Amino acid sequence: MDDVHGSRIEAVIFDWGGTLSEYAGIELIDMWRLAARHLAGHVAATEQAILEQLTVVEDRMWERTTTDARAASLSDLLAEATRALGADVTAAVLEEAGTRYLDTWTPHIAHDPEAAPTLAALRERGLRIGLLSNTHWPRAYHEHFLERDGLRDLIDARAYTSEMTYMKPHPEAFRHALDAVGIEDPARAVFVGDRLFDDVFGAQRAGMRGVHRRNPKVPPYDVEADATIDHLPELVPIIDGWRLA
């Protein structure tokens, strides 16, 4: 980490869920129920059987995070479930299921009220701001939430693993985000996230500083963060100190 500690910070990249947004207690099972209801009229399987298959496929895809970290989009997820069901389901039906689900989910997505002033304070210091989120969802859905709460224009570059080959903690995911904010040397960037494995370990392995935002709802991991915060404004003086060192 010596090379990291000797470099001037030029960018701060954030995780989304649990970091910039409050941890949403909404389970994907709600979406799968809606999708199963739609698909039951198009395939030779019961709604319950479709629901079970969808949840199995989701579990299998998330397990990749601890193996090869291959990313998956919502379309990938449902396409694999379609193959498992032995039926060809049109993208239009799948999009309808996903869109209706998000219409009900949107009110439950709340960004941390301290996110906007923290991002603004970092931008005032001339820092480039990025976002890197492990997600199945299309860019448009996340952009909707960010725009709704006045955050989109405070983030210079936003990267979603639904559009990428790998997800965090794979180094390629972090390299993608670094490129998006125009940073060649990872030692000049800080990553902030609530997951010690995906965010802190992943960022440090990629050559960045890793800041952990404590979240008791996510699993632990044996890694030492470069700094730990409970609230987003605590990040600003930490970055100031690193930049002055």
Residue range 216-227, pLDDT digits in tens: 988 899 999 999
Per-residue confidence (pLDDT) for residue 90, from 0 to 100: 42
**pLDDT per residue as tens digits for the range 120-133:** 999 999 999 999 99
Q: Tell me the C-alpha to C-alpha distance, in Å, between residue 178 and each of 132, 133, 208, 214, 225.
A: 9, 13, 10, 23, 19
pLDDT digits (tens, 9 = 90+) for 159-208: 999 899 999 999 999 999 999 999 999 999 999 999 999 999 999 999 99
Closest by Cα among 104, 174, 85, 171 to 133: 174
Neighbouring C-beta atoms of residue 219, cutoff 10 Å: 8
Q: pLDDT per residue over 10-44, tens digit each?
A: 999 999 999 999 865 545 676 677 777 777 777 77
Task: Note the pLDDT tens digit of each residue in 74-121.
Answer: 667 777 777 777 665 444 345 565 566 666 666 678 899 999 999 999
CATH class for the region spanning 2-23+110-244: alpha beta
d(CA 158, CA 155): 7
* CA dist 192 → 97, 158, 195 (Å): 32, 14, 9
Q: Which of 244, 242, 164, 170 is nearest to 1 (CA)?
A: 242
- Where do we find the tokens 């995911």? 173
- Residue 81 contacts residue 57 (beta carbons within 8 Å): yes
Closest residue by Cα to residue 132 from 241, 11, 234, 219: 11
In percent, the amount of the chain with pLDDT more than 90 equals: 54
pTM of the model: 0.77
Q: What are phi and psi of 123, to 5 degrees?
A: -65, -35
Query: What residue segments make up the domains of the chain, in order of their start?
Result: 2-23+110-244, 29-107
Note the pLDDT of residue 138.
Answer: 79
End-to-end CA distance of the chain: 15
- Report pLDDT for 169: 95
Of 100, 83, 72, nearest to 43 by C-alpha is 83
Q: For 145-153, what is the mean pLDDT?
A: 94
